[in-house]
Amino acid sequence: MIAVMSQVSDENSQLYGLSYMFEVKTFLLVFFITLLLAKFIQSVKNWKKTPPGPWGFPIIGHLPLLGKHPHKTLNDFGKQYGDIFSIRMGSWPTVILNSRDAIYEAFVKKSEHFADRPGFFSAKMLNNQRSLAFGKYDARWKMHRKIGNNVLRMFASVKNNPVEESIQKEAIDLTRELIHNTNSQNLDPREFIFLAVGSVLYQICYGKDEQCKERDDFRFQVLQTKAFIEFTGAGNPVDVMPWLRFFMPWKVNGFKNLIKTSQNFRGKKIEEHLQTFDENNLRDAADGFILAGKEVGDLDKSSSGITKEDIHSSLSDITGAGFETVATTLEWCLLYASVFPEVQQKVQMEIDNVIGQRYPGIKDRGKMPYTEATILEVLRMCTIAPLGIPHATTNDVMLRDFFIPKGTVVFANLYSVSFDKTFWTDPEKFQPERFLTNNNEIDQEKAEYVLSFGAGRRRCLGEFLAKMELFIFFTTLLQQCNFEMLEGTNYTLEGITGLTNKNVPFKIKVSSR
């Protein structure tokens, strides 16, 4: 009996053990299924949060779909997919911000998360992606930005430096060159504007010199800037499809040669300044950056990683960022003044009433709302950099309900803001009055919708200088000159999209007032 009971007990134990093992295995199976299901649901959830967008092509993404005017194509995409949508630029996943609200939410409210730059080939070639314009967003860049801002303010502000006099002189010289040119009745003004604007920047960087346009090194810099603009005008496909460097080596070598030539030029100018450098008598931005380089102590180097070469490279950033953009905007100003003579006359009337015969100065700007409104309207209409400089996310981030991974390229479609039909009345029309209130003052809300200088942490460093140049050049030109279309000539206000939105080459008639 005891043996039988023992046998039954053993059988019960075995059954219990089997039952227990079955329950454990069942639990583990359910656990792993639940875990996999949770991960699947989370992945689906994240996928749903990814900004929507159109279908693209393998490898090359949406590049063939963008056409000659990518900003307009992307604006059309935005009408279908919303003001935050995704595309693919070759190898790079990309998010497009297609409204002022979306741009403001990303670049201003969440600026730390959207302040990086993508590691494009071109950016890496510029001092190993350590430049002010294209550098990675880190402690070193923040220090670099602070130094660049301090030096530019020191040598390009009205308060601390007579840069206004240099701009006035170049503007006056420009009017004389246009009026007295042998082709003034059939003149392409672009070359003259380019040299005048370049002269201002050259003098800020390397010292005041009224005859700088006659100097070989100035003309060399102008030619280099032109070569850079022409080479990069249509974009470098190697940036978004790195594998193309094996099939298009000229795109790589050509860019390397341009950078090397620019570095050699800057190095030569720095060496010239070092020979006569006096920290108690700083003459220009080159001296300012030399002093900043000397003052970078071991503590700063260890904490931020910034070097003298980083600081000295700022000279190229200043000239590169401000040269073509201001010159091209002035070209647009003269084109619009010629095509819309009634606007030109209203600006001239305001100039006559406020300034009279003396030359314009930056202090006149606040007294001339119509002139300021006209410049704003030109900036809005031409949208000089319709997609700006690409940003990148510094980390995984949520924007509204969308999940955007770290390293995603982010473009702000500034064109979508300039031509937003829900904000502007008849945005296709050139109408400076839209920026004026009933009290004949600048409507600040509308002025803030002109995002020519960007927004957030990467906002243009030289914005104050560019605005000063535009105002003084434009008012001086219209004070001294009349600009007219050539009879029988068709003019287009459609831009040529490249590094900037350039106007189609045009000729006008220039005469003295």
Top-confidence range, 122-126, 249-253, 418-422: 418-422
Decide if pLDDT at 158 tops 60: yes
Return the pLDDT at 15: 46
Decide if pLDDT at 436 tops 80: yes
Tokens of 53: 């967008």
H helix or E strand, kind and range, residue 97: strand 92-97
Over residues 25-41, the mean pLDDT reads 56
Which CATH number covers residue 493?
1.10.630.10
Give the global pTM: 0.87
Nearest C-alpha neighbor of 117 from the set 410, 384, 404: 410
3-class SS of residue 290: helix
Instruction: Read off the pLDDT of residues 288-345 as tens digits, 9 standing for 90 and up.
Output: 999 998 887 655 555 667 888 888 889 988 887 778 899 999 999 999 999 999 999 9
Please, what sign has the CA dihedral across residues 418, 393, 409, 115?
positive
Looking at the DSSP bridge assignments, the partners of residue 97 are: 84, 412
Query: Residue 51: inside a domain, yes or no?
Result: no
Return the pLDDT at 463: 93
Question: Half-sphere exposure of 168 toward its Cβ, with a 13 Å CA cutoff?
Answer: 12
Over residues 395-420, the mean pLDDT reads 96
In the chain, how many domains are there? 1
Query: Residue 426: inside a domain, yes or no?
Result: yes
Over residues 117-140, the mean pLDDT reads 88
Query: Residue 155: inside a domain, yes or no?
Result: yes
Return the pLDDT at 82: 96
Over residues 31-51, the mean pLDDT reads 59
Instruction: Read off the pLDDT of residues 488-505 as tens digits, 9 standing for 90 and up.
Output: 999 999 999 887 899 999
**CA angle, residues 495, 500, 503, in degrees to nearest 5:** 30
Whether the CB-CB separation of 397 and 114 falls below 8 Å is answered with: yes
Which residues contact residue 366 at a Cβ distance below 8 angstroms, ignoring those fewer than 6 apart? none
Choose between 423 and 211: higher pLDDT: 423
Choose between 451 and 38: higher pLDDT: 451
Query: Residue 14: inside a domain, yes or no?
Result: no
Confidence of residue 506 (pLDDT cuts 50, 70, 90): very high
Query: Residue 18: inside a domain, yes or no?
Result: no
Nearest C-alpha neighbor of 181 from the set 512, 419, 513: 512
Return the pLDDT at 303: 60
Choose between 89 and 295: higher pLDDT: 89
Return the pLDDT at 190: 93
Domain encompassing residue 192: 59-512
CA distance 169 to 197: 11
Return the pLDDT at 470: 97
Over residues 54-77, the mean pLDDT reads 92
Confidence of residue 160 (pLDDT cuts 50, 70, 90): low
Q: Any idea how long the chain is?
A: 513
Return the pLDDT at 3: 46
Query: Residue 41: inside a domain, yes or no?
Result: no
H helix or E strand, kind and range, residue 76: helix 70-81
Per DSSP, the residues of 307-346 read: -HHHHHTHHHHHHHHHHHHHHHHHHHHHHHHHH-HHHHHH
Tokens of 68: 């000659």
Query: Residue 98: inside a domain, yes or no?
Result: yes
| CA 157 to chain centroid | 22
Helix, strand and coil content of the chain, in percent to the nearest 5, comes to 60, 10, 30
Amino acid at 293: G
Query: Residue 174: inside a domain, yes or no?
Result: yes
Confidence of residue 212 (pLDDT cuts 50, 70, 90): confident
CA-atom Rg of the chain in angstroms = 29
3-class SS of residue 425: coil
Return the pLDDT at 8: 42
Nearest C-alpha neighbor of 345 from the set 502, 482, 205, 487: 482
Instruction: Read off the pLDDT of residues 444-454 as tens digits, 9 standing for 90 and up.
Output: 999 999 999 99
Which residues contact residue 81 at a Cβ distance below 8 angstroms, ignoring those fewer than 6 apart? 51, 52, 53, 54
Mean pLDDT of the chain: 87
Over residues 81-94, the mean pLDDT reads 95
